[in-house]
Structure 1
């Protein structure tokens, strides 16, 4: 049986879905687990923030290294390494009774992560070039779907069993991801004979590609624009008159509205981008996301707010898949593992910084104005994408790579 990129896409989608689900399972009860199970009574907010953010910081710092190994030894070994390592670490969480040990385990979860960027790089490298944008759009729905389902599963498991059982459930789900990668994922396009690069050289090579650096900043910005609101949504809903008993559930529904919209719309943006260009989709996504955020300033009802968040998500769904598709265009195939490792570092830093900055802004200004700041930030990014002619630069770099490859084939 020959290699099928469609089959590979389905396999990797399922793997990323399970991996994302496993991680997000613990989000609803992390602070409760620290207080009730690990005995944290003082400075619970700080402990919760550190335990949440330290994983992303560790992942951001180590991602370029894993990307370098992926380009040398293949992306599939990185999937297997990450999957089995994370399964073991989630299992260890089940037995932890000390908060300091819990923080150490969370650090190792970040250091040994990398399943998602390896899967994305594998799809980008083993899919026909004309189908890459569509495939990456499909892949973006895997993480979004997992992030929606995970907290629901975590809440149900912890309610009917215990918080510790939810960690055990996470371990089993990640183990399934690892087994899927081991037995079903296929990789054809990589060269093991090439020498492994150093992270410093990778960063230098990335910095010499202005289009790629711009796309990295846009990936971080898009992630930041969602995460900046995470600590503020429950408070904002309380201001709308939602009771404290239902604030967590209501904020979960509102926050997941963006993910649901992404699942629905990302494949459609992928198809449109393949025809009209991903620079166009990126611009539309940023403009729609910016206007959608600003409009949230004027909404005072819970239902209207949830609907508007969903509408904003329909546009936001086009941003990250377009960025990933354009990264593929501006990066040489041999650098893709490292490129998506750097991309993972940018988004993980944004995931860590977003809630921190959002919390600080919410402490000093009305939350309504955070939506305005967020919206203006996205609109400014859209203007820069258009005025700096990012799409033209991406096409120029892609053409240069293509001509270089043609010259190599002619001389071989």
Structure 2
């Protein structure tokens, strides 16, 4: 048993390193899509609209495909789905380096949505590689890798964009994805499930009906949607907001990357603290505290007092937000059977991607008609309300399995 646990933790660490590199590639690119759209010739007054479209189309298609990839993961293996996603995402990054206008880029983003699925496959393998009582620790390690990637990526992308433009960033990201995929194919084994329940072939509607029978799971899926929608309101406009505070878009990408990386450093420090607290006091309590803390800081960031104000507050966001998603994943793990874990994470990905789709579109409307700072105001209030409701409904719920 001890040997199996050690093997499981080796898989957790390999997947964590892979996810960290994937996050670096992702955050080298995503915060700077508005900058790339400017390079492609989009006019400044149309930038918020095209940023919202470029974000949302990928997430819309990913939301449709996530349950499909989840069912295939349960039937044919999570490792196979991770390899499939890694190859296709790598190809999409390489394709992005050669587009000539915003319409071609929109097609690439649509293909990226189709290719999506690496993270839920990796998270499913992590959750199945360790005993249930160690899920919080494993998810914390995985989140630490994710935060590390989110820390390094924006700064790397910003510096590269300043030096040579965005196209080389896409090429580096594509090659890195191929290397990560090869490492997982060689070194990670398909995890064995503890459940005696056989894997069944089900439709998306049947998966939804099953989720409706598990009220806790249904609430978790709703939280994935709401939290992701609020957070993705911010990603398309961070570089724009930094440019407004700075007074010019020149060098805004590098500056935004540096500020985002600072928040990531604080997140790395707090990851294991939140994971340990969640295992002792309950995952939902961590989720509520993380939401309310993040919302409060976003509310303060909406006040345009300058770059120093914005940057210091970004450090505090890193402290709070890092506890939310691993706790959601851990809460979902202890409330589902391993035989349907891939489909459950697929449903969670669908919820996230729908939130990813709605958030940028809503943000583009708010930014276009009221101003960029109001996006932070609305996001902050939304986070605080959601956090309060989580604390009120689930704050005292222990980490036991509810079916």
Pick aligned residue for 1:276 from 269, 273, 281: 281
Q: 1:377 to 1:32 in 2, by over 3 A?
A: closer
2:123 is the counterpart of 1:117: no
2:195 is the counterpart of 1:189: no
For the residues of structure 2 that align with 1:25 and 1:132, how far apart are their CA atoms? 29
For the residues of structure 2 that align with 1:102 and 1:381, how far apart are their CA atoms? 34
2:222 is the counterpart of 1:217: yes
Does structure 1 retain, via aligned residues, the 8 Å contact 2:144–2:271?
A: yes
Q: 1:354 to 1:260 in 2, by over 3 A?
A: farther
Deviates more, 1:75-84 or 1:43-52: 43-52
Report the alpha carbon displacement of residue 274 of structure 1 after superposing the two structures with TM: 1.5
Report the alpha carbon displacement of residue 364 of structure 1 after superposing the two structures with TM: 3.7
Report the alpha carbon displacement of residue 155 of structure 1 after superposing the two structures with TM: 4.1
Deviations 1:225-251 (A, max 9, x none): 322233444454455454443433333
2:332 aligns with 327
Pick aligned residue for 1:9 from 4, 7, 12: 12
Pick aligned residue for 2:346 from 337, 341, 345: 341
1:78 aligns with 81
Larger of the two Rg values belongs to structure: 1
For the residues of structure 2 that align with 1:108 and 1:239, how far apart are their CA atoms? 32
Pick aligned residue for 1:381 from 377, 381, 386: 386
2:84 is the counterpart of 1:88: no
1:141 aligns with 144
Deviations 1:320-373 (A, max 9, x none): 111111001111111111111111122222223222212322334465554443
2:111 aligns with 108
1:207 aligns with 212
SS in 2 for 1:282: helix
For the residues of structure 2 that align with 1:29 and 1:296, how far apart are their CA atoms? 20
TM-score (norm 2): 0.87
Deviations 1:65-116 (A, max 9, x none): 1111111112111111111222233333445446544433332221122111
For the residues of structure 2 that align with 1:22 and 1:253, how far apart are their CA atoms? 16
Does structure 1 retain, via aligned residues, the 8 Å contact 2:154–2:261?
A: no
Q: 1:213 to 1:101 in 2, by over 3 A?
A: same
Deviations 1:111-156 (A, max 9, x none): 1221111000110111111110121122123333323333433344
2:28 is the counterpart of 1:25: yes
TM-score (norm 1): 0.85
- How many residues are paired up? 397
For the residues of structure 1 that align with 2:238 and 2:51, how far apart are their CA atoms? 17
Report the alpha carbon displacement of residue 279 of structure 1 after superposing the two structures with TM: 2.1
Pick aligned residue for 1:305 from 293, 302, 310: 310
For the residues of structure 1 that align with 2:381 and 2:313, how far apart are their CA atoms? 17
Deviations 1:1-41 (A, max 9, x none): 755222111100111112222233333654555565x6667
For the residues of structure 2 that align with 1:294 and 1:279, how far apart are their CA atoms? 22
SS in 1 for 2:235: coil
